[in-house]
Amino acid sequence: MIMRTEDVLRYRAETPGCADVVHFNNAGSALPPEPVVDTVVAYLRDEARRGGYELADAEADRVEAVYGSVARLLNAQPDDIALTDNATRSWQAVFYAMRFEPGDRILTCRSEYASNAIAYLQVARHTGAVVEVVDDDETGQVDVADLRHRLDERVKLISITHVPTQGGLVNPAEEIGEVAAEADVPFLLDACQSAGQLDLDVRRLRCDALSATGRKYLRGPRGTGFLYVSPRLRDRLEPAMLDLHSATWTAPGEYEVEKTARKFEVWERNFGLVLGLGAAVDYALEVGLPAIEGRVTALAATLREQLRALDGVTVHDQGKRQCGIVTFSTDRLPAADVKDRLALAGINTSVSRRTSAQYDFTGRDLPDLVRASVHYYNTEDEVRQLTGELTRLLS
């Protein structure tokens, strides 16, 4: 689906940061649109005037509506959604609720994110469970046939990253979901980089749980995130930690755990940020996820094409299907220097390092990578600015 130029210009006009920087760090933290900033700031001002509890009571319906917005984004039900501080807390809430025994197998992917891998290794160390990395196919995505071969009754979890932090790869999550569903193995999907740039639908993905953050492609405030948990999985899981919001102290010696996905939340949170997240999700829904996905994918493909034409530049993105994250290295300058020099020219990028994805960096023996992650509000002209500046740097 094509996004019209006049719409892109309008979205840019509604994004104050577009006037100040060329922002290609959307996989780090995207520029928020005005409605998001205004929502958060207005709420904080009201809170200071009226009192935190009093305002939260008065705004309860608006807060409740955020669950509906996130549910719409994922084609889920509001009861399937927990609102959290970030993607990591969302993911941990599900993973650390699972119980593993010696010999249980956790299947993950080569492009897996550091925090998730560290959690597997910790749990493996403490329980005797085994972490296994499923092979990639020749395009660099998860090899679904290899995944299928590995399944047996000891496999207790399939847990993969949809879009990795370190590249444009989109893993075949729907096919993985189908395999997981057939084998009746829980499927946990890290959608931190895909939420807000790809059209996600938990029924199509057939995941049992999905975690994401607010600040990346969704353009929400920092310090926000959410979690989807299917009714089936949440019935089987008791959170590792409970409080008076995720459970009720029903009698001096008893408690009852919440039934909805809110059992993975805690009571205290920043309601201004929660509403800001809701505003970001509503904004994305209004722009339209198919249109966002189409534009982000096309713009990133243009950037890759221009980078490949430069002498001494190597593009490292893998996958049959690719998205808005573009990674490259140069034979002249280390990634950190490229990033710093681009920043001097008003162009934001970031650096992906081995410690953020050991399986992938070690497997492919990659150097540090410059990551330029495009969004729909970026323009073809900004892409040319980036590659033009890079040409100057390398000449």
Ligand X SMILES: *Cc1c(COP(=O)(O)O)cnc(C)c1O
325/220 Cα distance (integer angstroms) = 18
Name which position in 24, 43, 113, 328 contacts ligand X (CB under 6 A). Answer: 113
CB of 159 to ligand X, least distance (A): 11
DSSP state at residue 32? P
Residues 368, 329 contacting (CB under 8 angstroms): yes
Residue placing its CB nearer to ligand X in the complex, 25 or 86: 86
Binding mask 225-254 for ligand X (x = CB under 6 A): x-----------------------------
Does 159 contact ligand X by CB under 6 A? Answer: no
105/233 Cα distance (integer angstroms) = 18
- Residue type at 278 in one-letter notation: G
CB of 110 to ligand X, least distance (A): 13
Residue placing its CB nearer to ligand X in the complex, 3 or 202: 202
Residue placing its CB nearer to ligand X in the complex, 30 or 390: 30
CB of 165 to ligand X, least distance (A): 3
3-state secondary structure of 345: coil
Residue placing its CB nearer to ligand X in the complex, 93 or 315: 93
Does 192 contact ligand X by CB under 6 A? Answer: yes
Q: Could you tell me which stretch among 37-45, 188-196, 269-277, 296-304 binds ligand X (CB under 6 A)?
A: 188-196
Residue placing its CB nearer to ligand X in the complex, 306 or 356: 356
Name which position in 86, 92, 108, 327 contacts ligand X (CB under 6 A). Answer: 86
Residue placing its CB nearer to ligand X in the complex, 69 or 161: 161
The count of chain residues that interact with ligand X, using the rule CB under 6 A, is: 13
Residue placing its CB nearer to ligand X in the complex, 39 or 111: 111
178/176 Cα distance (integer angstroms) = 5
Residue ranges with strand state E in the chain: 22-23, 81-84, 105-109, 130-134, 155-161, 187-190, 209-213, 225-229, 247-251, 254-257, 313-315, 325-330, 347-348, 350-352, 369-373
Name which position in 165, 270, 306, 350 contacts ligand X (CB under 6 A). Answer: 165
DSSP state at residue 79? G
Q: Could you tell me which stretch among 31-39, 57-65, 121-129, 190-198 binds ligand X (CB under 6 A)?
A: 190-198
DSSP state at residue 136? B
Residue 332 Cα distances to 163, 277, 329, angstroms:
28, 41, 9
Q: Could you tell me which stretch among 11-19, 161-169, 327-335, 368-376 binds ligand X (CB under 6 A)?
A: 161-169
**Site residues for ligand X, window 287-306 (CB under 6 A)?**
none
Does 88 contact ligand X by CB under 6 A? Answer: yes
Residue 48: phi, psi to the nearest 5? Answer: -65, -30
Name which position in 87, 173, 273, 374 contacts ligand X (CB under 6 A). Answer: 87
- What's the token pair of residue 181? 């569903």
Residue 167 Cα distances to 170, 215, 313, 332, angstroms:
9, 18, 15, 21
In the block, tokens 């060329």 appear at 22
CB of 320 to ligand X, least distance (A): 19
- How many other β-carbons are positioned within 10 Å of the β-carbon of residue 31? 21
Does 190 contact ligand X by CB under 6 A? Answer: yes
Residue ranges with strand state E in 15-104: 22-23, 81-84
Name which position in 29, 159, 197, 213 contacts ligand X (CB under 6 A). Answer: 213
- Enumerate binding residues for ligand X (CB under 6 A): 86-88, 113, 115, 161, 164-165, 190, 192-193, 213, 225
